[in-house]
Chains A and B, each alone.
Chain A
Amino acid sequence: MVSQNQLFRTGPLASVLAKIGVAITGGGLILFVLAHMFGNLQVFLGPDTFNLYAYKMQHMVLLWPARIGLLAIFVAHMGLVFLLTRQNSVARPVGYASYEPIQSTVASRYMLQTGVVILLFVVYHLLHFTLHRVHYPDSTVGFAAQIEYQTPPYVGQQMHNAYDMVVYSFQQPVVALVYVLAQLFLAAHLWHGGQSLFQTIGMKNENRRALLTRVGPLLAMVVLIGNCSIPIAVLLNILQASSTA
């Protein structure tokens, strides 16, 4: 009697396994995107709340482990995507003269393109708000301006005026536009990815399929509206700087 292991051949990194990795890392990135969005929406609660949130994030004990973990997830997502994309392009060396997608969504067919735009945006976003390397606002306040905290129990505590940094940045229409456009690409990625991952990890079936397939578009709209509300609120003067330049 041959054992199953002799009868069947198995290799190290099957496409299905790599894809499950994309789904799990993608799911992790979605959780981050949501946490990041809800954190930032505190900007609507006023400078003190927002600056304290930023201060606490900056001084979190696990700041570096969290950053490195997030980076690892991001890099793993891209690395696995690279392997799969290479496999897919080798799999169809000659294309069709005439090709009509039947029911796939545009979002699903442009995952790589939207992903690459997200990557470029993440680099820009880090240079902007984390490293303060781009778009010094036209004000004497500057990116690194400190502010004295007003509400107990932190009265008098000096902290970074992140609130004004955001407001002054988005008062420049070009900057606001770049952020809004980037959110459209992120939304497209989530439109497909936010439901496709359930299929990849085997959660869909006849009964759950319709419901789970709606999660992607829902997630995309929530993230699009949530994130874009900030630059738009600044442009509409709903959010105003707390200190005068």
Chain B
Amino acid sequence: MHFTLKIWRQENADVAGGIQTYEVDDISGDTSFLEMLDILNDQLESDGGLPVAFDHDCREGICGTCSLMINGTPHGPETTTTCQLHMRSFQDGDTIFIEPWRAAAFPVVRDLVVDRSAFDRIIRAGGFVSIDTGSAQDANNTPIPKDDADYAFDAATCIGCGACVAACKNASAMLFVSAKVSHLAHVPQGDAERRGRVLSMVDTMDAEGFGSCTNYTDCEAACPKAISTDHIAVLNREFIRAKIGRTT
């Protein structure tokens, strides 16, 4: 297969970037999207050029490191991560736009690599349970209804990739934040700190420069883990509860 690639190139955070056009040939449909970029980079290096920088790690869809806005959709046309996307999802001869996630809170580091540490700071603001760890408890020591456990688990599958932010017209991080708030709101371990958690995580989300939620729901459609915007409703409930609840 042959592809024309329109890729965002940018030296570093301080200089302006732009779209550059590249051609790749002889790509098998079973090549993964990232392998296709590896092939492009080999080509660029043997021509004496600089390889395109992009994020990746596990390449098996579990770590959330890969990113990329592909033809205007985060992680491309399938509901999966970019590392799990294959070139058979495209037509021979396609022109493919490849851009970094766009958000003030995710500054470009180089080319397609953005700094997603804003997510870490949001988690640090409340996306945890403060208990002293000792020896592991017996399993089933804390009974949790199956529905709650399943719902919490669904939320906990968020891999922190940032596709929700990239997809949102407002660059809002509500889906990511709600996944963690909802996860911990559905298990008893999270109960003790639920009030402070939601307020603090929302506050940090705002302070990091993410947008607000207009309920477009493009985030849930872009999410490789199919996290539902129902969790955003949970966040809103938790927030209201925290605001009208007692303060100490």
* Contact for B213 among A9, A10, A19, CB less than 8 A: A19
Give CA–CA (A175, B47) in the complex, Å. Answer: 67
**A87 proximal to B (CB < 8 A):** yes
Give CA–CA (A87, B215) in the complex, Å. Answer: 15
**A11 proximal to B (CB < 8 A):** yes
B171 A91 Cβ-Cβ under 8 A = yes
Closest to B212 in A: A15
A98 B105 Cβ-Cβ under 8 A = no
Give CA–CA (A208, B64) in the complex, Å. Answer: 31
A8 B197 Cβ-Cβ under 8 A = yes
A91 B215 Cβ-Cβ under 8 A = no
Q: Which residues of B contact A108 (CB under 8 A)?
A: 214-217
Q: Which residues of A contact B232 (CB under 8 A)?
A: 199
* Contact for A91 among B104, B167, B220, CB less than 8 A: B104
* Contact for A16 among B216, B229, B235, CB less than 8 A: B235
**B35 proximal to A (CB < 8 A):** no
Give the shortest distance, in Å, between A25 (CB) and chain B (any CB): 15
Please, how many residues of chain A have a CB less than 8 angstroms from a CB on the other chain? 47
* Contact for B212 among A9, A88, A101, CB less than 8 A: A88
A205 B233 Cβ-Cβ under 8 A = yes
Give the residues from 1 to 60 in chain A that come closer than 8 angstroms, CB to CB, to chain B: 3-5, 7-11, 14-20
**A153 proximal to B (CB < 8 A):** no
Give the residues from 74 to 122 in chain B that come closer than 8 angstroms, CB to CB, to chain A: 97, 99, 102-105
Q: Which residues of B contact A8 (CB under 8 A)?
A: 125-126, 193, 196-197, 199-200
Give the shortest distance, in Å, between B228 (CB) and chain A (any CB): 8
B202 A205 Cβ-Cβ under 8 A = no
Please, how many residues of chain B have a CB less than 8 angstroms from a CB on the other chain? 61
Segment touching A, from B38-46, B52-60, B65-73, B134-142: B65-73
**A214 proximal to B (CB < 8 A):** no
Nearest first, the 6 closest Cβ-Cβ pairs linking A and B are A8-B200, A202-B237, A91-B211, A8-B196, A100-B72, A104-B216
Assuming the contacts A91-B103, A99-B72, asked whether A200 and B217 have C-beta atoms less than 8 A apart, the reply is no
Q: List 16 A-B contacts (CB under 8 A).
A: A7-B193, A16-B235, A17-B243, A19-B212, A84-B212, A87-B206, A91-B103, A91-B170, A92-B104, A93-B104, A97-B97, A97-B99, A100-B72, A102-B222, A201-B236, A201-B240
Closest to A92 in B: B171
Closest to A84 in B: B212
Give CA–CA (A5, B235) in the complex, Å. Answer: 19
Give the shortest distance, in Å, between A31 (CB) and chain B (any CB): 20
A88 B171 Cβ-Cβ under 8 A = yes
Q: Which residues of A contact B156 (CB under 8 A)?
A: none
The 8 A CB mask of B195-233 against A (1 = contact, 0 = none) is 111011011111101111111111011100000111011
**B239 proximal to A (CB < 8 A):** yes
Give the shortest distance, in Å, between A129 (CB) and chain B (any CB): 32
Assuming the contacts A7-B130, A98-B99, asked whether A103 and B217 have C-beta atoms less than 8 A apart, the reply is yes
B233 A91 Cβ-Cβ under 8 A = no
| 7 further A-B pairs in the complex, CB-CB below 8 A; given A17-B243, A91-B103 | A16-B213, A19-B213, A90-B209, A103-B218, A108-B217, A202-B240, A203-B233
**A132 proximal to B (CB < 8 A):** no
The 8 A CB mask of A95-124 against B (1 = contact, 0 = none) is 111111111100011010000000000000
Q: Which residues of A contact B220 (CB under 8 A)?
A: 103
Assuming the contacts A10-B203, A14-B199, A88-B211, asked whether A102 and B218 have C-beta atoms less than 8 A apart, the reply is yes
**A196 proximal to B (CB < 8 A):** yes
**A125 proximal to B (CB < 8 A):** no
Give CA–CA (A100, B169) in the complex, Å. Answer: 10
**B187 proximal to A (CB < 8 A):** no
B195 A91 Cβ-Cβ under 8 A = no
**A209 proximal to B (CB < 8 A):** yes
